[in-house]
Amino acid sequence: DGGITQSPKYLFRKEGQNVTLSCEQNLNHDAMYWYRQDPGQGLRLIYYSQIVNDFQKGDIAEGYSVSREKKESFPLTVTSAQKNPTAFYLCASSSRSGGTEAFFGQGTRLTVV
C-alpha cells in the first residue's frame, strides 16, 4: 500500500528535551512538508523540502529542525527552543510539479509533560 507513515502516533516530551517525529513515504514524491495544527486554527507550515538535501523554512520554523537525506524520509525535530510544542503535527508529500495534491499522514500528537 502506498502512503505516508508518521510515527509515533502519540509522543510526550519533558521540558528541555528534543524529540524527533518520523515521516516516511513510499509514493515516490519529491516534495515533503511538515505542518502544525492547533485547535481552531488551520495548518501552519513549519518546513518543506522539494528535493533531497534541500529544505526551506515555512511560516513557523523557529524551534524546529529537519533533514532530508533520503527521498523517502523527512524527520522533524522539535527542539527545546520551541516554547509551545504541544500540538498535532502532520507530514505530507506531493509530486514536485505544482498544482498537484498533497497527501497526508495520520499525524503525531505531541504533548509536553
Partner 1 sequence: EDQVTQSPEALRLQEGESSSLNCSYTVSGLRGLFWYRQDPGKGPEFLFTLYSAGEEKEKERLKATLTKKESFLHITAPKPEDSATYLCAVQEGKGNKLVFGAGTILRVKS
Binding footprint of partner 1 on the chain (CB under 8 A): 4, 6, 31, 33, 35, 40-45, 48, 50, 58, 88, 90, 92, 94, 96, 98-107, 109
SS3 38: coil
- Shortest gap between Cβ of 73 and partner 1 (angstroms)? 17
CA distance 91 to 105: 6
Closer to partner 1 by CB, 90 or 112: give it. Answer: 90
- Shortest gap between Cβ of 85 and partner 1 (angstroms)? 18
SS3 39: coil
Contact residues for 12 (Cβ-Cβ < 8 A; gap 6+) = 110, 111, 112, 113
- Shortest gap between Cβ of 65 and partner 1 (angstroms)? 18
Closer to partner 1 by CB, 17 or 38: give it. Answer: 38
Residue 69 CB coordination number (10 Å): 10
Closer to partner 1 by CB, 6 or 82: give it. Answer: 6
